[in-house]
Each structure stands twice: as C-alpha cells, then as structure tokens.
Amino acid sequence: DAGVIQSPRHEVTEMGQEVTLRCKPISGHDYLFWYRQTMMRGLELLIYFNNNVPIDDSGMPEDRFSAKMPNASFSTLKIQPSEPRDSAVYFCASSRTGAYQPQHFGDGTRLSIL
C-alpha cells in the first residue's frame, strides 16, 4: 500500500503569500493529523480529523491557519497570510480507529517563509 503522500516537499515563499499544503492519507484510515515540527518546539499537533470531521483544532496557532478535509482521501492545510515564524516542517499522518494504532507519517513539507 502507498504511504501518506504530502505535497509539495519543499516550499519557499515570501511573507504575506498564501501557502497550501496537501495530504493524501492511507486508504482506509479514518484519522488524519497535521503536525508542525521545529527545533525549538518539537512536534506539535495542529489539528486532527476523524471521518473527515475536525475534532480538535486547539493546536492551530491562529486564525491565519485553516485546514479542510473535503473527502476521505484529501486534506489541505492553508496559511494566509504567511509569516517568517511559520517556517517549519509540516507533517501529515493518518491512522485507523482503535486503541494503540500507530500513526503513519508522510515525509513532510519543508516550508520557508522569507
């Protein structure tokens, strides 16, 4: 089976621009997670979905961040407007329902805001 697929792998853009990160979870997984990883703060959960419905968005830093999951095979994380402090590696992960299920991570999007 294909793993979690994220695009783009790298994104460099100027401050103020809109950024859209994309994720295709593993087929059959009903949980989808968006994380942000930095050296200072480690791996932080931003938001997660269950069966395409957002369950917990308490980790979203501010209103500039939004996430959608229009169907079971696609999710987006959007930043508008972007700021230099948003520079980080953003990961998408998916898992099945059930206790002790592992999360399967994509290879991440390295985002640089100039």
Partner 1 sequence: TQLLEQSPQFLSIQEGENLTVYCNSSSVFSSLQWYRQEPGEGPVLLVTVVTGGEVKKLKRLTFQFGDARKDSSLHITAAQPGDTGLYLCAGARYAGGTSYGKLTFGQGTILTVHP
Binding positions for partner 1, rule: CB under 8 A: 4, 31, 33, 42-45, 48, 50, 55-56, 91, 93, 95, 97-108
- Report yes or no: 11 and 111 within 8 Å, Cβ to Cβ: yes
DSSP code string of 3-19? --EEE-SEEEE-TT--E
Q: Which is nearer to partner 1, 48 or 65 (CB)?
A: 48
Q: What's the min distance (Å) between Cβ of 43 and partner 1?
A: 4
Q: What's the min distance (Å) between Cβ of 103 and partner 1?
A: 6
Q: Which is nearer to partner 1, 10 or 85 (CB)?
A: 10
Q: Which is nearer to partner 1, 74 or 105 (CB)?
A: 105
- Report yes or no: 77 and 25 within 8 Å, Cβ to Cβ: no
- Report yes or no: 93 and 33 within 8 Å, Cβ to Cβ: yes
